[in-house]
Structure 1
Amino acid sequence: MNQNRPARLPTIKDVAHEAGVSLGTASKALNGQGQLRPGTVERVRAAADRLHFRPNRLAQSLHRANSLTVGIISTDSFGRFSMPVMEGIEDVLGSAERSVFMCNAADDPAREKMHVDALLARRVDGIVVTGRRTDARPALNLGAARVPVVYAYTQVGHDPGQTVQAPCLLPDDFGGGEQATRHLLTLGRRRVAHISGPPKFEAVQLRARGYLAALSAAGAAAPLVLHGAWSEAWGREAAAQLFGPASATDALPDALFCGSDQIARGVTEALHALGLRVPQDVAVVGYDNWDVFTEATRPTLTSVDMNLRDLGRQAGQRLLDLIDAGPGQGLGGPLRLPCRLVVRHSCGAPVNEEAPDPRSSA
């Protein structure tokens, strides 16, 4: 006997023989089908465990008319925003025993088409598209394929004349900007300025609108919005414009809502260099809740968290629902999910780094 010959993997026929049932009964018991006695199902599954039997996924997928696989296409090569989204998607798909094919399109249409063609050739049951920004992008070109698609942390334009729309899950940036500004106002700050990124981005526009809405509702001082790059350097420059010797206003801001944590860290550094105390003289709130910056900033940075992992979970569940519903079922369109404020030391409020999701207090 050849001792080096690998042992044969057990088959479902072996399980049926071990359990003393027919092949059809063993198949039904392992797949949760048919009307079988609980004792029979238990006997078959116990036999499968003893033999270390593992179901043939390919055979199962052919039997069920699906592949038990899902594709994820990302345009975010850096991964700052797409990684937590993808982790949330995998949380849900893994629980549903769906395998995931990860594809990085890197904002290259030709590369994206190559990935789409490869996923369709593998007969994936659905596709999730995610990216590094929430601005509108072209819809995936699936040709004649009727595969459900969900967009997460990105979106596509929607034709009101279409019956079926692609679901697009996005953070509520308007609500996040409003929440951050309202928090500063409730702390007694009355001159809140907003320092953010390039105004061409939808997220920048929505955060600024939320800021303006909160000021208006509180009857606070006239708004002051500065736009620049997504960088610490811009944060330092903006703080110098507001508080330096050449400052154009006598009524200096007593709070700053920054459109990103990166900008907020630069702002905080500049305030220290100018001899201003954070938060005693100027309270600071950032956006993204990126621990690389929130924990490195001194004092630690209060920030808006977009709940991206939860957004990914909801995207994964939405895709599973569409797969179960069948081709052409279910309405979509944009769905904006709440952000939450994570309070640390930079705003002057009691620290609550485990701030609850606002949906739980409704």
Structure 2
Amino acid sequence: MFAGSANRSARVTIREVAHHAGVSVSTASKALNGNGRMTEDTRERILKAASELQFRPNAMARGLLKQRSFTVGLLTNDTYGRFTLPVASGISEALVDEGVSVFLCPVLDNDPRRAQVNVEAMQDKCVDALIVSGRRADARLPIDLASLTMPIIHVYSECGPNEIGFFVDEVQGARLAVEHLYASGRTRVAHVTGPDSFDVVAKRIAGWREASRAHDRDPFLQPLTGAWTEAWGFAAAERLFANGVPSAGRPDAVFCGNDQIARGLADALALRGIKVPEDVAIVGFDNWEIFADAVRPPLTTIDMNLVELGRQAGQTLLELIEGRPVAPGHRYLPCRLIQRRSCGAGRDMS
């Protein structure tokens, strides 16, 4: 190895930055930590020197100086990662510029013992704060966090009114889906969704009803509740489009509670010779691309904005870590419609 290469691979020290900028180590340290009294020219010269030398501050030393670990914990029972991975991406986006890393701890099988082990591991690592995320918004993780003194934020996980939680506006998302169907010329919008034991099911039903009534229509039929599966979507189509049901008794659009249900429903319609979107339009919920793109034709669906949910939670967590006041309560973020070909732009009635 060349001597020059060895020098370039070694970590640049703050002494080298100070020498390059022509200041003392103490002055360089103050400038790089954003404190201390000095002229702006001096501060800028030090920052420029650090940039030119590609100086990276030692995380352990920085942590000792500020009494922080510059890590946050993310505790979740969503081991599939359907909700937690996009949330974690948003959290990282909010924290990366502050030099804060995310320490992910999955709670396998929703096991309380595993949850406790993970929390103890995070305490051992002295994480600055904790984010709790789940696979459903109306259930807590199997651990009592009341004794922890670090800041805690819940994202898509049940929390009390005096805690800080970030959630998806499920009602708004359902309204958005159904309003799109009416705007594209549909008049009989049915709803097929998941188990009625889920809080999100009730909220999506409420949004479907609100949008229908806003268009001076009663909700078409009763909502069909079942499992969050393709098999249930397939079975629901058999009920909605059974032989003998007159055309006026059949929907011309179906709003599905998730993308898996929508895919199963689309498969059943194809077997019956019912065309999507010409005969029946379909909108899903989740924007889980592995399902939405696999539907034929590709599925129009509601995106839950989980990355943005995580980003805003991360920003709020930084405020808590820095000691700034943050009001407790629940924050609800709006969803957005992702248009693909399962709705069409309307129908040619001629």
**Pair in the same fold by TM > 0.5:** yes
For the residue of structure 2 that corresponds to 1:315, the secondary structure is helix
For the residue of structure 1 that corresponds to 2:126, the secondary structure is coil
Aligned to 1:264: 262
C-alpha separation between the residues in 1 aligned to 2:142 and 2:235?
38
Aligned to 1:156: 159
- Deviation larger for 341-350 or 111-120: 341-350
Q: Deviations over 1:299-327 (max 9, x none)?
A: 1211111111111111111111111225x
Query: Contact (CA 8 Å) 1:242, 1:248: kept in 2 or not?
Result: no
Q: Per the alignment, do residues 338 and 346 of structure 1 end up closer, same or farther by CA in structure 2, a change over 3 Å counting?
A: same
For the residue of structure 2 that corresponds to 1:127, the secondary structure is strand
Aligned to 2:174: 177
CA deviation after TM superposition for structure 1 residue 109, in Å? 1.7
- Deviation larger for 76-85 or 58-67: 58-67
C-alpha separation between the residues in 2 aligned to 1:9 and 1:295?
46
CA deviation after TM superposition for structure 1 residue 72, in Å? 1.0
Pairing 1:220–2:223 present? no
Query: Contact (CA 8 Å) 1:244, 1:274: kept in 2 or not?
Result: no
Match of 2:120 among 117, 120, 125: 117
Match of 2:241, as an amino acid?
Answer: F
Query: Contact (CA 8 Å) 1:66, 1:125: kept in 2 or not?
Result: yes
CA deviation after TM superposition for structure 1 residue 12, in Å? 2.9
Q: Per the alignment, do residues 82 and 144 of structure 1 end up closer, same or farther by CA in structure 2, a change over 3 Å counting?
A: closer
Match of 2:327, as an amino acid?
Answer: L
Aligned to 2:295: 297
Q: Deviations over 1:15-65 (max 9, x none)?
A: 434544333212112212112123333443455456654322112112112
- Deviation larger for 303-312 or 242-251: 242-251
Match of 1:167 among 164, 167, 173: 164
Pairing 1:29–2:31 present? yes
Match of 1:135, as an amino acid?
Answer: D
Pairing 1:127–2:130 present? yes
Aligned to 1:283: 281
Aligned to 2:41: 39
Q: Deviations over 1:70-122 (max 9, x none)?
A: 11112111011211111011111112211221111132221111111111222
Match of 1:336 among 329, 332, 337: 332
For the residue of structure 2 that corresponds to 1:325, the secondary structure is coil
Q: How many residue pairs are counted as aligned between the two chains?
A: 338
Match of 2:77, as an amino acid?
Answer: T
Q: Per the alignment, do residues 35 and 192 of structure 1 end up closer, same or farther by CA in structure 2, a change over 3 Å counting?
A: same
C-alpha separation between the residues in 2 aligned to 1:19 and 1:187?
64
Q: Which segments of 5 or more consecutive residues in structure 2 lack a partner in the other structure?
A: none
For the residue of structure 1 that corresponds to 2:78, the secondary structure is coil
Match of 1:316 among 314, 325, 328: 314
Aligned to 2:94: 92
- Deviation larger for 234-243 or 144-153: 144-153
Q: Per the alignment, do residues 35 and 190 of structure 1 end up closer, same or farther by CA in structure 2, a change over 3 Å counting?
A: same
Match of 2:344 among 336, 348, 353: 348
For the residue of structure 2 that corresponds to 1:123, the secondary structure is coil
When normalised by structure 1's length, the TM-score is: 0.86
- Deviation larger for 129-138 or 76-85: 129-138
Match of 2:139, as an amino acid?
Answer: A
Query: Contact (CA 8 Å) 2:112, 2:143: kept in 1 or not?
Result: no
C-alpha separation between the residues in 2 aligned to 1:22 and 1:294?
59
C-alpha separation between the residues in 2 aligned to 1:244 and 1:308?
37
Q: Deviations over 1:259-281 (max 9, x none)?
A: 11111111111111112111121
For the residue of structure 2 that corresponds to 1:193, the secondary structure is strand
Aligned to 2:240: 242
CA deviation after TM superposition for structure 1 residue 216, in Å? 2.1
Aligned to 1:65: 67
Match of 1:238, as an amino acid?
Answer: A
C-alpha separation between the residues in 2 aligned to 1:51 and 1:218?
63
C-alpha separation between the residues in 2 aligned to 1:143 and 1:136?
16
Pairing 1:104–2:101 present? no
Q: Which segments of 5 or more consecutive residues in structure 1 lack a partner in the other structure?
A: 159-164, 351-362
CA deviation after TM superposition for structure 1 residue 139, in Å? 8.4
